[in-house]
Structure 1
Amino acid sequence: MVYKFGPWGIDASEVFVETSLSYAFVNYKPVVEGHVLVTSKRVAPRCVDLSAEEILDLWTLAHRVGPGLESLHSAESLTYVIQDGVYAGQTVPHVHVHIMPRKPNDFQPNDVIYDRIDREDHASRKVDAEKERKPRTAEDMAREATMLRKLFEL
């Protein structure tokens, strides 16, 4: 099965948990170890395009995924990010939540993490995060998703 993420397909091997309306998958270019995405199954460019039921389902799944990642990665906090529209830094026209396990001093200053997520703003802040964020192989992503699937099995 192929899931849609904006104009792209996400292979089922990269998905680790799903509901009837949402799914969570591993990130091709993670900012931190454990960085995943949660998105709606229906391609909707902006939050306003989702139904109330889809919004509730998306955040309920994010609420479930976050603590599992925090525990798995021995993190002490989580960063949840939604960029809602092009001018907010959204690069894929499909509502999605970034979930990133956070550890003490992983970014100095702390808000640099947002620069790493927001590609459009990198030129103005002189942060070349794309060179630092290495794409992963399909095999690496499938391996991570398999491990996460076990964590989120009921």
Structure 2
Amino acid sequence: MSVTPFMFGPWVIRNSEIFFESALSVALVNLKPVLPGHVLICPRRVVPRYYDLEDHEIADLWKSAKIVSKVIEKHFNGDGLTFAIQDGKNAGQTVPHVHIHIIPRQKTDYENTDQIYTEIEKEREPRTLETMAKEADELRVYFQ
């Protein structure tokens, strides 16, 4: 891993939480996942809003999301994926740094599949650094 330190908005993300890097983007495990395998893809540059990204950053961000999503879905036994961007405070964005949520889905997740959007908004307990590092280690092997 070459990112040291990586800033996710105002937060420092440890290398142990990062499992994928591209030229302009980083994938990290989520402190408060909605479902198992819920990860984030962020541009390296701290940019608060989607429209503030340069075109080449957008291309890299979505290419990274494509690469990571294929692995995440398989690793967590999903049969679908939810991609979400909360762009701005009134859209539910809590960290002022553009990021894509990738959430592996299974038929049994929720009775109403759109409930995932309500769940994204809910406050959840943070995971331990050890739990997050273990998950990142499991995922990192796919990208080495």
TM-score class, shorter-chain normalisation, is over 0.9
Letter matched to residue 87 of structure 1: N
Distance 1:117 1:3 in 2: 23
1:94-113, aligned counterparts within 5 Å? 94-113=97-116
What TM-score, normalized to structure 2?
Answer: 0.94
Counterpart in the other structure of 1:150: 141
What TM-score, normalized to structure 1?
Answer: 0.88
1:11-26, aligned counterparts within 5 Å? 11-26=14-29
Distance 1:80 1:148 in 2: 18
Counterpart in the other structure of 2:38: 35
The one-character-per-residue Cα deviations of 1:59-100 (angstroms, maximum 9, x if unpaired) are 000010001111111110000000111111111111000000
Q: How many residues align?
A: 141
Distance 1:139 1:106 in 2: 25
Counterpart in the other structure of 2:94: 91
Match of 2:53 among 47, 50, 53: 50
- List gaps (5 residues or longer) in structure 1: 119-128
Counterpart in the other structure of 2:83: 80
Give the percent of matched residue pairs that are identical in Structure 1 and Structure 2. Answer: 51
Q: Does 1:70 align with 2:102?
A: no
- Structure 1 or 2: larger helix share? 1
The offset of 1:105, in angstroms, is 2.5
Question: Which structure's CA Rg is the greater one?
Answer: 1
Counterpart in the other structure of 1:124: none
The offset of 1:134, in angstroms, is 2.8
Counterpart in the other structure of 2:131: 140
Q: Does 1:6 align with 2:18?
A: no
Distance 1:7 1:82 in 2: 18
Runs of 4+ in 1 over 3 A off after TM superposition: none
1:30 partner SS: coil
The one-character-per-residue Cα deviations of 1:28-65 (angstroms, maximum 9, x if unpaired) are 01000000000000000001111000000000000100
1:107 partner SS: coil
